[in-house]
Amino acid sequence: MESSDYKEEESFKMFEGYFKTFTMQSEAIGGKMKFGIYFPPSVVKDHEEDPSKKFKALWYLHGLTCFESLFFQKCPLGLKKAADLGLMMIFPDTSPRDAGIEGETDHWSFGVGAGYYVDATQEPWAKNYNMYSHVTKELRDLVEKHFNVDPAKQSICGHSVGGHGSLVIFQKNLDRYVSCSAFAPMTNSINSGWGKNAFEKLFGEDNLDQWKEYDACELAAVNKGKNLDILVDQGDKDCFYPDYLLTENFKKAGEENGHNFSINMREGYDHGFPFINTFIESHLEYHDKKLSQ
């Protein structure tokens, strides 16, 4: 798989399908970006038989410190279920990797590996830290053009700050994503320690209106009365719950604004991949049902 728009880097056969990593030149980021795609066996077969056929796909956004192929390494049950369902999965990276901005590697919760899925407006971050546009525009355009992803059959899921990304992107683009779910998401970024620290740098300390544009609770109010259906799983032994994730705030925002937020508290589970592996199949089934309607 080669094109002037991207380059295939690695390919691994898994559950009779293929997980592949690619690089692309990103205008939004101002440099090279990696991404991963899982091609289920049915997609591989159908594409060989009919190169024009379009396919449903689920976007998965990783959390802090993660990268585009971590799901492939840590969540085999998810790829097995995707193979069974014939559901493509798309994995963007979490931040720019070669911006070279002073301070971007000082702490694990901001900068490299922690781009927060926003478009920065504050210098020096505004040139490179535009993950929102990267995910929702240029990478989406690329997978639709080159990998036959159906523009009308895409959903989004994420974990932790990737969960924040999925909740925000879905609510800002209701006409472009069929469904949304999240594992242990940061749900109220303007009141979370992670969000406050990042947004002060990315948007400026006093630009609260810009902060609110990337806050899942604030967007629930913007979409008041639309009866949004969102699935969330949260472990009650999560070391970042409730202080950084603020799950109760999201539940309240759903109730106050007429939405159907299904928030499942999972007894004994923490923040990591054992938790995700336990419940990932139910999330993929949820999205596949929505995408197949």
Q: Which of 271, 283, 287, 288 is catalytic?
A: 271
CA 213 to chain centre: 17
Residues 23/16, Cβ–Cβ less than 8 Å: no
Residues 90/58, Cβ–Cβ less than 8 Å: yes
Measured distance CA(158)–CA(64) in Å, rounded:
11
Q: Which residues pair with 22 in a beta bridge?
A: 8, 35
Sheet holding 55-61, edge to edge: 2-3, 6-14, 17-26, 31-39, 88-92, 55-61, 149-159, 180-183, 229-235, 260-266
The DSSP output letter for 183 is E
Q: Is 271 a catalytic residue?
A: yes
Measured distance CA(262)–CA(259) in Å, rounded:
9
Measured distance CA(216)–CA(153) in Å, rounded:
22
CA distances from 91 to 45, 57, 281 (A): 21, 11, 17
Residues 158/276, Cβ–Cβ less than 8 Å: no
Q: Which residues pair with 19 in a beta bridge?
A: 12, 38
Q: Which of 160, 179, 189, 192 is catalytic?
A: 160
Residues 185/216, Cβ–Cβ less than 8 Å: yes
Q: Is 238 a catalytic residue?
A: yes
* Residues classed as catalytic: 160, 238, 271
